Amino acid sequence: MKLVVDDLAADRGSGLIFENIGFSLGDGEGLVVTGPNGAGKSTLIRAMAGLLRPAHGTARIEDETGEWTDLAAASHYLGPINAMKPALTVRENLAFWQAFAGKPAMAIDEVQQTVGLEHTADLPFSYLSTGQRRRIAIAKLLLNWRPVWLLDEPTSGLDAASERHFAGLVRDHMKAGGIVVAATHLPIAVDGMKRLTFGEALPA
Amino acid sequence: MMALILRDIRIGVRAGGGMLIGILFFLAVITVVPFGVGPDLKLLARIGPAILWIGALLASLLGLDRLFQADREDGSLDLLIMAGHEHPLALTVFAKCVAHWLTTGLPLVIVSPALGLLMNMEPAAIAATTATLLAGTPAITFIGATGAAIAVALPRGGLLVSVMVLPFVIPVLIFGVMAAYGAVEDPAPFLQPFLLMCALTLFFAALGPLAAGAALKGSSD
Amino acid sequence: MSDTIAPARRFSLTALANPTRFLSYSGKILPWLGGLSAIILIVGLYMSFTAPADYQQGITVRIMYVHVPAAWLSMMGYMVMAVSALGTLIWRHPLADVSIKAAAPIGAAFTFLALATGSLWGKPMWGTWWVWDARLTSVFVLFLMYLGIIALQRAMDDPVKAARPVAILVLVGTVNIPIIKFSVNWWNTLHQPAAVIRMDGPTIDPSMLWPLLVMAVGFTLLFFFMHMVAMRTEIWRRRIASMRRASAREQRGAAKPVLAE
């Protein structure tokens, strides 16, 4: 399977934010996108997730088995917000996404254990701390199998231990043949990832 | 889809407010009418069906703007849009409308007979009005979903949603009230306007989610 | 792996090409269109005032020469917007959205004119300024829809992002147009049924039909004249806005992505 981004450009209504982005990632490969605020990291991830129409170019998936045809369908998108309902319990939140997304992979209890939050299952999501909330959002990546992870600032709000743990999850996913694209300004401790750097702003 | 309906119902019932505020608002609208027109029981009985309908309409419009905004704020909307391959967006919108109506529209229908008593309406008029509300309020939700989707990116879209949606719900209101009066006033028919209103509900059930889905897809830019 | 550096951000010329051509063409057509509509309207008004009075309605029938064309244009204005909305949604043509934005206030004005003249005509004919019959109500709903669309356009400050939602609202509102057109046939209304455009030919006397048609042509030309002027204004307004936005971005410069192993 290959994730191919070809001559991608994005426009948010006030001129192109970036253009000429092209790369391809095969099974088990990862890409870290770094750069200053406003350089277009999030925009790139959203364009790849199909949430934003690119001004130019394509982002697609090439799968020989034919199981995945659409990049958005083959992806988990972890945005800057956690996509969890504060009024529902953690278990209800996770159960909903598992049922909605299809192709379940891991049991909810198991997923919660993986991020070390099994004791919060029956608490409303709003009771959790910022870091705990992020860990639950990360746990959502494991609920359903998707070969591609599109991550936007995945480690924001995490402490050092959780960050290391998260890096482990990313490694495991890549080892299992998954593809990871992460936009972040914090380094992720995973070896062998490609890097895409949005340069410093240039004076006009 | 069922999971989405259940989730939204849970939120609607649990987050408190949403459902209760709609009913209270409905009650408030009905209560101010006797003060406005005077406590003439005959007059109240005559305008009762219309007042119940207007109250239910306003109460239904009340929470509509939050239909997609809450999902947008916590990031769920992005994931719902991305799942478009598996669950077509129009169907997702339809499911959300069903849940929204069950938590906000249906309670209004259930309390309307009690409010009909306050308006001194005859049993036949109360039954007819409740029946028209039951069949007509879903139309408000479905067409309102389009308005809510169009205004989803606006931070204070609430009033705008009402302004946009109102022209479309006027036909529903017309036939709903017409049918309610048809049940009590002799020469006027009940079934004809009632069926026309049902047709409107079905029409909006198809058109609303489609248009809302198209609007939501563009909103994530 | 070699570094790939993005070239400086290119100015999207393709997006401007069409509006630019539109501006130059419309600039040439505009005086002719304006002159023609003025002449036809003057002729039409003259014919309207010299046309015979109705044997029942007397002199008030002359309101018709304004009322009927205004009512037609209220619907045509909406159809112009609906077609433009299709242009926005299907072809994403930049002019289509400008066309909606320009047509909405003009259509609303014609709708208001139709309602106001109808009301003035209704008082001597029906003895009341207003009745809630199907035709009047549906035209009133059309007026509300115009206002809703204008409100939505004003609420969204970014015209690029507003284009799609506005187009969808316009298209959904199109369901009202056939209701207005056929309301007088479907329901027994106080408003008279169609007299000019019908299957078996007009039921109106030629001495009144001609001034009416001339007025309708004059009003239509006036609509397109105003529509064109408004579109030009809107294009200029957007250019100014995008230049101001560009001047804000200039200081930040372009980001250059660099890919490395």
Mutate to test the interface with C, among A18, A37, A43 (most CBs of C within 10 A): A18
Provide the residue ranges of all domains of chain B, joining segments of one domain with +. 2-219
DSSP secondary structure of A92-145 = HHHHHHHHHH-SB-S-HHHHHHHTT-GGGTTSBGGGS-HHHHHHHHHHHHHHB-
Token digits of residue A125: 């999501």
Chains touching chain C, criterion 3+ CB pairs below 8 Å: A, B
- Average of pLDDT values for B114-120? 87
pLDDT in tens, A39-81: 788 888 999 998 888 888 888 888 888 888 888 888 999 988 8
Q: Is B87 on the interface with A (CB under 8 A)?
A: yes
Q: In this predicted model, which residue has the larger pLDDT, C22 or A187?
A: C22
**pLDDT classification of B16: cutoffs 50, 70, 90:** low
Q: In this predicted model, which residue has the larger pLDDT, B131 or C137?
A: B131
For chains A and B, CB pairs below 8 A equal 73
- What pLDDT score was predicted for residue C256? 58
Provide the residue ranges of all domains of chain C, joining segments of one domain with +. 32-54+61-242
Q: Is C257 on the interface with A (CB under 8 A)?
A: yes
Q: Is B82 on the interface with A (CB under 8 A)?
A: yes
Nearest CA in chain C to B152: C165
Cβ separation A73–B79 shorter than 8 A: no
Cβ separation B75–A70 shorter than 8 A: no
pLDDT in tens, A124-174: 898 889 889 999 999 999 999 899 999 998 888 888 888 888 999 999 999
Cβ burial B63-95 (10 Å sphere, 16+ → b, else e):
bbbbbbbbbbebbbbbbbbbbbeebebbbbbbb
3-class DSSP state for residue A77?
A: strand
Is the confidence at residue C47, as pLDDT, over 50? yes
Of B153, B167, B211, the CB nearest to C161: B153
Cβ separation A51–B78 shorter than 8 A: yes
Residue C206: exposure state from Cβ atoms within 10 A (0-12, 13-18, ≥19):
exposed
Residue B130: exposure state from Cβ atoms within 10 A (0-12, 13-18, ≥19):
buried
Is the confidence at residue A16, as pLDDT, over 80? no
CA distance B214 to chain A (A): 13
Kindly list the residues from chain C whose CB atom is less than 8 angstroms away from the CB atom of residue A54. none
- What pLDDT score was predicted for residue C10? 41
From CA C117, how far away is CA C18, in angstroms rounded?
A: 39
DSSP secondary structure of C48-110 = HHHSPPBTTTBGGGGGHHHHHHHHHHHHHHHHHHHHHHHIIIII--HHHHHHHHHHHHHHHHH
Residue C182: exposure state from Cβ atoms within 10 A (0-12, 13-18, ≥19):
middle
Of C250, C254, C259, the CB nearest to A196: C259
pLDDT in tens, C188-211: 566 776 666 665 666 677 777 888
Chains touching chain A, criterion 3+ CB pairs below 8 Å: B, C
> With contact defined as beta carbons under 8 Å apart, do B64 and B165 qualify?
yes
Please list the alpha-helical segments (H only) found in chain B. Answer: 2-14, 18-37, 41-62, 66-73, 76-82, 89-100, 106-118, 123-150, 158-184, 191-219
Cβ separation A15–C257 shorter than 8 A: no
- What pLDDT score was predicted for residue C79? 92
Lowest model confidence (mean pLDDT) among A141-150, B117-126, B151-160, C95-104: B151-160
pLDDT in tens, B47-97: 888 899 999 999 988 888 888 988 888 889 999 999 888 889 999 999 999
CA distance C131 to chain B (A): 14
Mapping DSSP onto H, E and C, the string for B65-130 reads CHHHHHHHHCCHHHHHHHHHHCCCHHHHHHHHHHHHHHHHHHHHHHHHHHHHHHCCCCHHHHHHHH
Give the H/E segment covering residue C210: helix C206-250
Cβ separation B221–C172 shorter than 8 A: no
Residue B41: exposure state from Cβ atoms within 10 A (0-12, 13-18, ≥19):
exposed
CA distance B114 to chain C (A): 30
Of C75, C89, C97, C128, the C-alpha closest to C18 is: C97
Cβ separation A16–C253 shorter than 8 A: no
Is the confidence at residue C4, as pLDDT, over 70? no
Q: Is C246 on the interface with A (CB under 8 A)?
A: yes
Cβ burial A24-35 (10 Å sphere, 16+ → b, else e):
ebeebbbbbbbb
The residue count of chain C comes to: 261
- What pLDDT score was predicted for residue C187? 64
From CA C113, how far away is CA B152, in angstroms rounded?
A: 33
Cα torsion angle, C236, C241, C244, C248, sign: negative
From CA B39, how far away is CA B44, in angstroms rounded?
A: 7
Cβ burial C100-129 (10 Å sphere, 16+ → b, else e):
bbbbbbbbbbbbebbbebbbebbeebeeee
Kindly list the residues from chain A whose CB atom is less than 8 angstroms away from the CB atom of residue C245. 14-15
- Rg, Å, chain C Cα set: 23
Q: Is B76 on the interface with A (CB under 8 A)?
A: yes
**pLDDT classification of B156: cutoffs 50, 70, 90:** confident
| ipTM of model | 0.89
From CA C169, how far away is CA B144, in angstroms rounded?
A: 11
Kindly list the residues from chain A whose CB atom is less than 8 angstroms away from the CB atom of residue C6. 18-21
**pLDDT classification of C6: cutoffs 50, 70, 90:** very low
- What pLDDT score was predicted for residue C196? 66
- Average of pLDDT values for C35-60? 83
C interface residues, B as partner, C-beta within 8 Å: 89, 137, 141-142, 144-145, 147-149, 151-152, 155-156, 161, 164-166, 168-169, 171-173, 175-176, 179
Is the confidence at residue B102, as pLDDT, over 70? yes
Nearest CA in chain B to C175: B168
Residue C16: exposure state from Cβ atoms within 10 A (0-12, 13-18, ≥19):
middle
Lowest model confidence (mean pLDDT) among B103-117, B123-137, C135-149, C169-183: C169-183
Token digits of residue C57: 């309605």
DSSP secondary structure of A182-197 = EE-SS----TT-EEEE
DSSP bridge pairs for A144: A104
Is the confidence at residue C5, as pLDDT, over 70? no
- Average of pLDDT values for C232-247? 84
Chains touching chain B, criterion 3+ CB pairs below 8 Å: A, C
Kindly list the residues from chain C whose CB atom is less than 8 angstroms away from the CB atom of residue B147. 169
Is the confidence at residue C11, as pLDDT, over 90? no
- What pLDDT score was predicted for residue B132? 93
- What pLDDT score was predicted for residue C223? 93
Question: In one letter, which amino acid is A131?
Answer: G
pLDDT > 90 fraction of chain B, expressed in percent and rounded: 36
- What pLDDT score was predicted for residue C261? 53
- What pLDDT score was predicted for residue C40? 92
- Mean residue pLDDT of chain C comes to 80
From CA C178, how far away is CA C78, in angstroms rounded?
A: 12
- What pLDDT score was predicted for residue C14? 46
Lowest model confidence (mean pLDDT) among A141-150, B63-72, B150-159, B207-216: B150-159
Lowest model confidence (mean pLDDT) among A87-96, B123-132, C187-196, C221-230: C187-196
- What pLDDT score was predicted for residue B218? 79
- What pLDDT score was predicted for residue C247? 75
- Mean residue pLDDT of chain A comes to 86
**pLDDT classification of C184: cutoffs 50, 70, 90:** low
